[in-house]
Structure 1
Amino acid sequence: MSRVLRVELRRSAAAGALLALLVAGAVLLYTAPQRWSAGWMPLAMIQREYLVLLWPLALAAGAWQARREHRSRVAELFASTARPRAQRILPILGAMGVAVGCGYLAVAAVAVPRIIDTASYLPGSVFTVVAVGGLAMIAAAWLGLAVGRFVPSVVTAPVLAVAGIALLLVIPAAMRRTGTEWLAMVLSPMYGMGQYTDYQTVTGRVSLAQAIWLTALAGAAVVLLASGSWRSRVAALLPAALGVALATVVAPRGDAFVAHPIDPVAQEHVCAQGSPRVCVSRVHAGLLPEVTPLARQALSMLAKLPDPPTAAHEDTTTYHPDTSPPRRADTVLIPVQVDKHGRLAGKSEVIPRMLDAGGANMRGCEGRQPSTPVARAVGYWLLGRVPEPGHSLEPAEINAEAVRWWRALRRLPEREAVARVAEVRRAALACEELTDLPAGSRR
């Protein structure tokens, strides 16, 4: 059997499918490396999101391979042999399964050199997410073989590819409208894999439910491919139905379902040696040598204020779900973002953002806080340079107002300016609205 499998790997479409998947996957990953450069889980999840294109490609590869007997006009000859069809299809099932599975793993492998020096957090769930992705590819190839056997047309493969893309996009959209988003995550292997934060993960129950459904789908494809009568073809629906039923029992739903779950271990603090204390999240631990000198420089600038912060921690705020780190007067938050090379992005912006509003954490203030011009003015006064716009879409009036307040602070005596900046910091920590510098500071 192993010799036959080797022959199939050489002479079938398996090698071409592997190469096509590897090229397509590598192009997709390296088109936007900043989406997964933060670590191993982002890489695993983004690769799963790209199944929207890779899964239909495996589906088409299976359908194309299924035309071989039809092209060679040997279907009747093989049917007349004593070997049962189920035995004859095993080598091609193995060859296509090995090809698309290895192709999927090879796509992940080409991304490893880019982040191996910076990605230090490797949870076990990464391997589960990758394994389920490989299983999805095998199920797609086998389903393509089954469909291609019954519709051995030259257009079957491209039509299946387009249908596969549509299916992966339509199912989640339809189920979101019906309030069954949890089922969409089970049936669509790419749904819910988009990264909203570097701390995002895939729960074990979701992965198990997906694995059950994909295994059932692969089993249904095998039964359909081996079928010789209409009864056996109808029987192919049984494993698929059982798979859906079992997967829905395992999958979290209702209050237990979280569309974008967060890994609490990924958010845990990893701290640099020495003082003042500087910590980043575990998933960003590889950035600690870059973050530490910047954070300590910002803390030294804040030291001129009364009761200044004495520690700096990464800002682990997330928006899906909406969470914020605890508000503490002795701790300033560090904005940490990862660039496409896995390094600290926007280094020049880290200190100004830490000094914003005098280093106060305004997360969760719900609108009652010092205005952006005031917060920026005191931050750049501590930094010792003129305020700069926050982003390209920001109205010019905001930074112009910040510059005016900054100049007002610069004209004040040092002692009085420190007192005004401290008052802005106090208002920010107390979530008090402040649209102006404290009275008497503007001249």
Structure 2
Amino acid sequence: MTAVTERSTPAARRHAPHPVRAEAVRGFAPFAGAAVLLTSGVMLSGKADRWQGDWGTTAALLHTALLILVPLAAAAGCWQGGRERRRRTEELWATAVRPPLTGFLASALPTAAWVAAGYLAGAALALLACWPYALGGGPHLGLLPGDTVALVSASLAGQVLGRVVPTRLAAPLLALAGYVGLGLLSWSPAGSSRELSPARLVGDTQLPVWWQPAAMAAWTGGLALAVVLAYTARRRVTALLPLAAAVAAGVLLVQTGDGLWRHDPLTRHQVCDTSTTPAICVNARYAGLLPQVKEALSGITDKLAGVENLPARWDDLPGGPDDRAHLPMVTPMGWSVVRGRLTDPRQYAWEAADALEGHEECDDPRVLELDELVEHYLAPSPAESHFDDLHRHGTKAQRAEQRRKEAARARLAAMSGKERRAWLSAYFAAAGRCDAEGVPAL
């Protein structure tokens, strides 16, 4: 009898699994993480054509997703916090010898950790989906630490609310209130308290200053820790320390305002191909797009070989001297560029040819006629053939005007290379002045 008891002793001494491990593996926490991952995936996949290929837009949308994910994390924590009440085991847990804070963390930390893991997994998948189409620069990771802490903080604070408020509706009501509150805070006017919102709207060219994520983490994390300590600590006065840190961080965020953000330095740099005339320069954020732009404009640059008085280059910088022409805009993504590819090279080329004229507004019919003629020669509009057909079957005046246009096009095309280069050189010498003087008649 004794021998049997001794042999069974090792099996009887096996330790029970740690409560935190049990909660993390078999409790509600994994479902909370999966919900965050699924929600972020649905939000991003619906706009994939807008962010795949642009690191800045990807980071901005991941950050903006907190408008939904923070209320979701708070609701998940709230639901977890009300579990013992739903099971009617509150009194049983009250008899445990563990301190209240220890018991609280054993239940709350797995949910908060899974929420953070779900968000980081969604961010990693988004960055991987962006990488094959990325056109320049690198991943923007500056906001991820502050965003992750905000989600953890929302989950912890929600857990406290779930334990305090005795209703099953606490979680959905908290999610709704959190969404409305974050929305109002994020859309508040510049110079106000919108910097306190962890889901503040961020542009695709905005980067946080180096200390902004730390200040945001201190703000959200300090508030959550103060709430937890006020609920669980034996000496609730200890909650004043994280509360003071949160208030200090909040004041710093509000007072700094727009100084918390800086423009992506790549937006101020151009990557150029000088093998053509004019040279072709694109924003360094989209350096990988340069070969496509050069190919799209190759029909224009081939026809302009040897022509004088041309702008020095195309670029996409605002303003500037008269020796530059503006390239068509490729942002926001999802229109001219989708997943790293120009969607309509012919339209892009026509817009680039139009930019060579140099003037923005002109009412001189002769100048407008010359502009249209040069655009037709360099890169016809995709819609030009449609309007030509309409005019060929329009009124008598429209038919006569169409015949005159087509005759001018034919004369320009029939010129020798030398004659055409001289005529185009005269045209570009007058371009930008809204004056056709000096341009030979065809």
Normalised TM-score (structure 2):
0.77
Shift of 1:133: 1.5
Equivalent residue in structure 2 for 1:210, among 213, 216, 219: 216
Matches for 1:302-313 after TM superposition, within 5 Å: 302-303=304-305, 305-309=307-311, 311-313=313-315
Q: 1:426 to 1:408 in 2, by over 3 A?
A: farther
Matches for 1:215-234 after TM superposition, within 5 Å: 215-227=221-233, 232=236
| Whole-Å separation in 1 of the counterparts to 2:148 and 2:404 | 57
1:128 partner SS:
coil
Q: 1:122 to 1:411 in 2, by over 3 A?
A: closer
Equivalent residue in structure 2 for 1:284, among 283, 286, 293: 286
Shift of 1:252: 5.9
| Whole-Å separation in 1 of the counterparts to 2:17 and 2:437 | 81
* Counterpart contact for 1:270–1:282, Cα < 8 Å: yes
Q: Does 1:137 align with 2:154?
A: no
Q: Does 1:54 align with 2:77?
A: no
- Aligned partner of 1:37 in structure 2 is 52
Q: 1:217 to 1:336 in 2, by over 3 A?
A: same
Q: 1:132 to 1:252 in 2, by over 3 A?
A: same
| Whole-Å separation in 2 of the counterparts to 1:151 and 1:375 | 75
Shift of 1:141: 0.7
Shift of 1:350: 1.6
Q: 1:148 to 1:282 in 2, by over 3 A?
A: same
Equivalent residue in structure 2 for 1:191, among 176, 185, 200: 200
- Aligned partner of 1:320 in structure 2 is none
Select the structure of larger CA radius of gyration: 2
Matches for 1:337-416 after TM superposition, within 5 Å: 337=331, 338=333, 339-357=337-355, 359-360=356-357, 377-383=372-378, 385=380, 388=383, 407=406, 409-410=408-409
- Aligned partner of 1:336 in structure 2 is 330
2:409 counterpart letter in structure 1: R
Q: Does 1:166 align with 2:165?
A: no
2:282 partner SS:
strand
Stretch deviating more after TM superposition (214-223 or 115-124): 115-124
Equivalent residue in structure 2 for 1:27, among 10, 22, 42: 42
- Aligned partner of 1:392 in structure 2 is none
1:127 partner SS:
coil
Residue-by-residue CA offset, 1:186-222 (whole Å, 9 max, x unaligned): 21112122x3xx5343333543432321221232233
Matches for 1:224-263 after TM superposition, within 5 Å: 224-227=230-233, 232=236, 236=239, 239-249=242-252, 253=256, 257=258, 261-263=262-264
| Whole-Å separation in 2 of the counterparts to 1:350 and 1:163 | 46
| Whole-Å separation in 1 of the counterparts to 2:52 and 2:66 | 18
Aligned length: 404
* Counterpart contact for 1:36–1:43, Cα < 8 Å: yes
Q: 1:250 to 1:407 in 2, by over 3 A?
A: same
* Counterpart contact for 1:266–1:281, Cα < 8 Å: yes
| Whole-Å separation in 2 of the counterparts to 1:351 and 1:100 | 47
Shift of 1:355: 0.5
Shift of 1:301: 2.8
| Whole-Å separation in 2 of the counterparts to 1:210 and 1:29 | 23
Normalised TM-score (structure 1):
0.77
Residue-by-residue CA offset, 1:111-167 (whole Å, 9 max, x unaligned): 23432123254557x222122221111111111111111013110000001001100
| Whole-Å separation in 2 of the counterparts to 1:34 and 1:82 | 55
Shift of 1:171: 2.1
1:382 counterpart letter in structure 2: Y
Stretch deviating more after TM superposition (46-55 or 210-219): 210-219
Q: Tell me, which stretches of 5 or more residues in structure 2 are unaligned?
A: 1-15, 385-390, 392-397
* Counterpart contact for 1:129–1:202, Cα < 8 Å: yes
1:133 partner SS:
helix
| Whole-Å separation in 2 of the counterparts to 1:369 and 1:275 | 32
Q: Tell me, which stretches of 5 or more residues in structure 1 are unaligned?
A: 317-323, 390-395
1:18 partner SS:
helix
Q: 1:172 to 1:23 in 2, by over 3 A?
A: closer
1:188 counterpart letter in structure 2: S
Q: 1:387 to 1:102 in 2, by over 3 A?
A: closer
| Whole-Å separation in 2 of the counterparts to 1:327 and 1:369 | 23
- Aligned partner of 1:326 in structure 2 is 320
Residue-by-residue CA offset, 1:381-408 (whole Å, 9 max, x unaligned): 232646637xxxxxx9xxx9x9899657
| Whole-Å separation in 1 of the counterparts to 2:405 and 2:233 | 79
| Whole-Å separation in 2 of the counterparts to 1:407 and 1:218 | 73
| Whole-Å separation in 1 of the counterparts to 2:172 and 2:299 | 58
2:271 partner SS:
strand
| Whole-Å separation in 2 of the counterparts to 1:308 and 1:114 | 41
Task: Give the aligned CA root-mean-square deviation in angstroms.
Answer: 3.9
Q: 1:180 to 1:296 in 2, by over 3 A?
A: same
- Aligned partner of 1:270 in structure 2 is 271
Stretch deviating more after TM superposition (63-72 or 411-420): 411-420
Stretch deviating more after TM superposition (68-77 or 23-32): 68-77
| Whole-Å separation in 2 of the counterparts to 1:408 and 1:259 | 60
